[in-house]
Amino acid sequence: MVIYAPYTVYQYGLKGWGKVILKDGWKYFILAAADVEANFLVVKAYQYTNLLSCMLLDCWAIPVCMFFQWIYQKPKYHWTQLLGIFIALGGMGIQVASDQLLDKDYPALDMVKGDVFMIIGATLYGFTNATEEKFVRNSPLYEVLGIFGLWGTLINGIQASALEWKNMRDANWNGPVIGLLFAFTAAMLILYTIAPILYRMASSTYYNLSLLSSDFYGLLFGLFLYHYKPYFLYFISFPVTLIGLIVYFWNLAPETQGKIDVRVPEYITARHEIGRVAGEV
């Protein structure tokens, strides 16, 4: 919000930005609310159910994302794409097996409650990814991220104040904790900036498949920071996932996943002409 909302005001002018809030702000409000609740529910799910359920149920976001992407974009799915998804999920399965063999799981406090939280959270993830892709294919990135971030900050701030104020009050706010929060915020800024660019260049489904490889990168950090001793299957799961990503677009160009027609709203005038090439603002 701190970066993209002011830049949107700069591009549209304060009056134009206000018009966007009034006329199209509701769309970004729904997107932001779904994203905030997805993050909240998934984090809560880890508190109640076990790691195996979380890792498996989180994959539910992929078919949900494909469903909404099909509604919005009408992409032409090829059998090789389905094969790529199957291979990528196979890499995830190898990783889950590795965790189970190392007995990294933990007991569930309330498995049913946690599983429901994870399913709802994954469903909202799939919805938000596909919906954001629809927006960035038709609107400037700074508009989408600016107004999306504005609503997300407000919703998250109100919800955290209502539900997490005791935890925030009792937290140990020392230097390392604050430093980690800044690092996490920087990581989220990079993620939320790069994700919509990937949506344009590929698709939101491809983005979700790519996230299957994130645990391997977490392992690399763990090797140096916490001296993890991973099972050898971890090093097999990563290339299997990458092969799935390659197969996904083996026979089809990314352009078949949806059209890119970036335009500012008709009722305002931006300072600069909007590019129509994937990756431009």
DSSP letters along 226-271, please? T-----TTHHHHHHHHHHHHHHHTSSS-GGGG--------TTS--S
Predicted confidence (pLDDT) at residue 215 exceeds the cutoff of 80: no
Mean pLDDT within 86-97: 84
What's the pLDDT score for residue 166? Answer: 84
How buried is 83 (Cβ within 10 angstroms: 0-12 exposed, 13-18 middle, 19+ buried)?
A: middle
Owner of token pair 């305002």: 268
Band of pLDDT at residue 172, cut at 50, 70 and 90 = confident
Predicted confidence (pLDDT) at residue 121 exceeds the cutoff of 90: yes
Band of pLDDT at residue 256, cut at 50, 70 and 90 = low
Instruction: Tokens for 79, please give them.
Output: 């059998």
pLDDT in tens, 217-254: 776 776 676 666 666 777 788 888 889 888 888 876 66
What's the pLDDT score for residue 103? Answer: 63
- CA-closest candidate to residue 199, choices 155, 262, 151, 241: 262
Cα gap 24→154, rounded to integer Å? 17
Tally Cβ neighbours within 10 Å of residue 161: 10
Phi-psi category of 259—alpha, beta or left, where left has phi over 0 and alpha has psi -120 to 50?
A: beta
Query: Which pTM does this prediction carry?
Result: 0.85
Instruction: Tokens for 263, please give them.
Output: 């335009």
Mean pLDDT within 89-109: 73
